[in-house]
Amino acid sequence: MRRVVSAVAVFTCLAATGCGSPKTTTVNVAGSQRTLSLVITGPSGSLDAEVEQLKGAVASGGATATTLDGDQHAGASLCQTDVSDSTGTYHIAVYTDSTDVPASLCADMKSAVDKGTG
């Protein structure tokens, strides 16, 4: 799970340099014991490339990731967070079908991104 948090943090940090009109993409991440849906909305200029980087990071952690256009999440809402810098605001909503994923996941992601861009 920590690798997924780190991968999402890296993605969000990198995506914060993008530009363009808003776009929403769902990244479904499946590991051996749980599934997460990350619905990410941000500038379209760099979102697709950054999603591909996220998928690579997830794969290196032993999970799989698939992308879908728009909000096509699975599971119940877990948490949401926004990450902003001078180039835009990125909203991440996390959904899961697992009961053992901590609700602090979004705060952990935001903290990791803030440390990485500070």
Nearest to 95 by CA among 43, 30, 12, 10: 30
Dihedral (Cα; 70, 10, 92, 105), 10-degree rounding: 130
Q: What Å distances lie between residue 100 and 7, 13, 106, CA to CA?
A: 19, 26, 14
In the numeric block, the tokens 């290196």 are attached to 60
pLDDT digits (tens, 9 = 90+) for 23-69: 999 999 998 788 899 998 888 876 776 677 678 878 888 888 999 99
pTM (global) more than 0.75: no
The radius of gyration of the chain's CA atoms, rounded to the nearest angstrom, is: 13
Say which range, 8-12, 83-87, 102-106, 109-113, has the weakest mean pLDDT.
Answer: 8-12
- Average pLDDT over every residue of 82-109: 79
